[in-house]
Amino acid sequence: MKTIAIYPGTFDPVTTGHLDIIRRACEIFSRIIVAVADSTPKPALFSLAERVEILKLATHNLSRVEVESFTGLLVDYMRKRQAHVALRGLRAISDFEYEIQIAQMNRKLYPEFEIVYMMPDEKYTYISSSLAKEVASLGGDVSSLIPEEVQPFLRSKFNTGK
Ligand code: ADP
C-alpha cells in the first residue's frame, strides 16, 4: 500500500531532530511531503520561501521527500493533496499535551485524519529550532543542532563566524 505522509511544521529552520524524523519516516512511508506552514505561532526568523529552500537543500538526497508550503488549515491542505496521514515528532511529554489537542481538533475538521507520532534518537530530544537560533545569536557552535547545509543561512542572519 502506498501511503503519503504529510509532515507539517514551522521549520524555522529545519534541525537535525526534524531530519532524524524525516529519515525514519522514509523507512515507513512511500512519500513524505514536508509541509511548511505559512502562519507561525511566533514571528519567524526565516521567510516562508527561505524555510522551504533550506529544507529542500537539507533533504536533497532523500528521494521520497518533497517540500512544499501551505497556507490556511492543515486539513484543507491535506484534503487538496489527497492525504490523510500526518506525521509529528514527539520529544517529551510536554510535546504530547499540545499535540493531542491539535490532533483531536483536526479530526473534528477532517474525520479521516490520522496522525503518526515518531520519536527521534535520544540525542536529538533536546533540540529545537528556537534553541538553535538562540545559540547562533550568541555566537555558539550549532553544528550538532542543524544540518550542515543550513549553517550558512543561520550564520548570515546573525553575522557570526561559527
Ligand atoms: P511547530 O511549530 O508546528 O511545532 P516545528 O517546526 O517546531 O513546528 O516542529 C515540527 C514537528 O517536528 C513537531 O511535531 C515537533 O514536535 C517535531 N520536532 C521538533 N523538533 C524535534 C526534534 N528535535 N526531534 C523530533 N521531533 C521534533
Active site (annotated) includes residue 123: no
- Which protein residue has the closest C-alpha to ligand 1 atom 20? 128
At 114, is the pLDDT very low, low, confident or very high (cuts 50, 70, 90)? very high
Domain carrying residue 36:
4-122
**In angstroms, how far apart are the furthest CA atoms of the chain?**
49
- Residue 83 belongs to a domain: yes
Res. 15: pLDDT tops 90: yes
Check pocket membership of 116 for ligand 1, CB cut-off 6 A: no
- Please tell me the total count of domains within the chain: 1
pLDDT of residue 75: 98
Q: Answer whether 70 contacts ligand 1 (Cβ < 6 A).
A: no
Among 11, 14, 21, name the best residue to mutate to test ligand 1's pocket (greatest count of ligand atoms within 8 A of Cβ): 21
Q: Is residue 152 part of a domain?
A: no
Taking alpha carbons only, the member of 135, 46, 58 closest to residue 34 is: 58
What are 134's strand-pairing partners? Answer: none
For the residues 45-49, what does the mean pLDDT come to?
A: 96
**139 domain-assigned:** no
For residue 33, the domain's CATH number is 3.40.50.620
Q: Is 91 a catalytic residue?
A: yes
Answer yes or no: is 160 within a domain.
Answer: no
- Assess if residue 98 is contained within a domain: yes
Q: What is the pLDDT of residue 160?
A: 60
Domain assignment present for residue 78? The answer is: yes
DSSP state of 121: P
Residue 153: inside a domain, yes or no?
A: no
Measured CA to CA, the distance from residue 8 to residue 70 in angstroms comes to: 9
Name the pTM for this structure. 0.95
Residue 30 lies in a domain: yes
Average pLDDT over residues 32-44: 93
